[in-house]
Amino acid sequence: MKHNIILTKRDKSAKGTVHLTGSKSECNRALIIEALSNGKVKVENISDAADAVLLAGILRSDKQLAVSGNDNSASENTVSEINIGPAGTAMRFLTAYFTLQDEEVILTGSARMKQRPIGILVDALREIGAQIDYVENEGFPPIHIKGGLVQESNKVSVKGDISSQYITALLLIAPRLPLGLELHIEGELTSKPYVEMTLAMLQSVGIQHSWEDNVIAIANQEFAETSIHVEPDWSAASYWYAIAALADEAELFLPGLTQYSLQGDSVITEIMANFGITSQFKDGGVYLQKEPKPVIRKIFDMKECPDLAQTVIVVCAALGHEATFTGLETLKIKETDRIAALQNELAKIGVKLIEKGQVYKLDCSEKSIPNRIFVNTYHDHRMAMAFAPLALIVPEIEFEDADVVEKSYPAFWKDLKKVGFTTEVKS
């Protein structure tokens, strides 16, 4: 049963310590690496985000099935259906993963997942020999994968301006491909830090690569016996930076976060410096502090950190800062059309997000703060969490389907209570 939450904050200060869950981005990559390593790599600090828990469960079940199926008692024609719900990362990573497994599966998901394109990845996998068919609509899940890929080529081309998860899915399976992989990126690469994260994590488990110009090459090679420790989630940290930005006073400590993170969303420290938020790394974490500062920066390019876009746009809107945003191309194919969702919800405080080609500008000329707003979440965890900091400005906010945060940050509402927010559950 879905629950709404009414969020309030009596004062405009935010002080306390918040322990964040493990990074969903790191964890999902680490889990695939662990599964492909045949037991050589172990994952520590697995995220409790719903997406990561789901992926871990699917991979665990698959390994158990593989072991129990060694006696050949199972029918050769058995096709397993795996429902990944709304987990987009799992859909993309598992699409590549199952091409290497000696089994047949149908990967399906939620109604929204069936609207999210997968064709670019499927085409790339087919180029190297994968057998994948569409069950319903061409280019979209569900998909039927016949595993046991017989590699026909090691060269594949992928456009750079698509989701980095397509590229990551290919890179993760590359060491297990008999001929390795030579991946050619066409045009400018979107979300480059996520690709760099993938390569750094592979390197940490002994997988070498080369990256020259627009070509990433990974040879067939063995994983080292080691472990991957998943860092706390910088995407989750971004909401605390937003809270600090909208508070009059802020002193927050986020343990476990490091200054030199693999996560591209750690750039939130630089973005929020524009709003007077200082980040001091010590005592095994980061201290956030608010210092009065006029916001001068007018243009924010979110190309390399699209998951921060909603957070930063809402902060600017709340402050009446008429900023311009670029690099939002992938937002329309996320859990929801995030551009349309932002436009709908920002209108509730009188702010417009105007789209002109690939440039988006905030118009705050008619901004007005009502006593109460109702925020639709569109089955999107980041819509809920990006708008939560507004409770420092709007006296009362009701969030539709508050449990949606479980996708990446299950303890979000509880953590808000630790620093003085009040939550009331409404059935």
Q: Can you name the residues that pair with 355 across neighbouring β-strands?
A: 360
Q: DSSP letters of 26-43?
A: HHHHHHHHHHHTTTSEEE
Q: DSSP letters of 329-369?
A: GGGGGSSS-HHHHHHHHHGGGT-EEEEETTEEEEE-TT---
Query: Can you read off the two tokens belonging to residue 155?
Result: 């060269």
CA distance 186 to 17: 44
CA distance 308 to 275: 15
Residue of 307, 380, 401, 415 with catalytic role = 307
CA distance 324 to 359: 7
Host H or E run for residue 99? helix 88-99
Q: Can you name the residues that pair with 42 across neighbouring β-strands?
A: 227
Phi, psi angle pair for 412, to nearest 5°? -55, -50
Q: DSSP letters of 157-208?
A: EEETTS-HHHHHHHHHHGGGSTT-EEEEEESSPTTHHHHHHHHHHHHHTT--
* Residue found under tokens 């790599």: 41
Our answer to whether residue 161 is catalytic in this structure is no
Host H or E run for residue 282? strand 277-282
CA distance 20 to 281: 16
CA distance 86 to 92: 12
What is the Cα 223 distance to its own chain's centre? 25
How much is the CA Rg of the chain, to the nearest whole Å? 22
Query: Can you read off the two tokens belonging to residue 9?
Result: 């904050």
Catalytic positions, written as ranges: 307
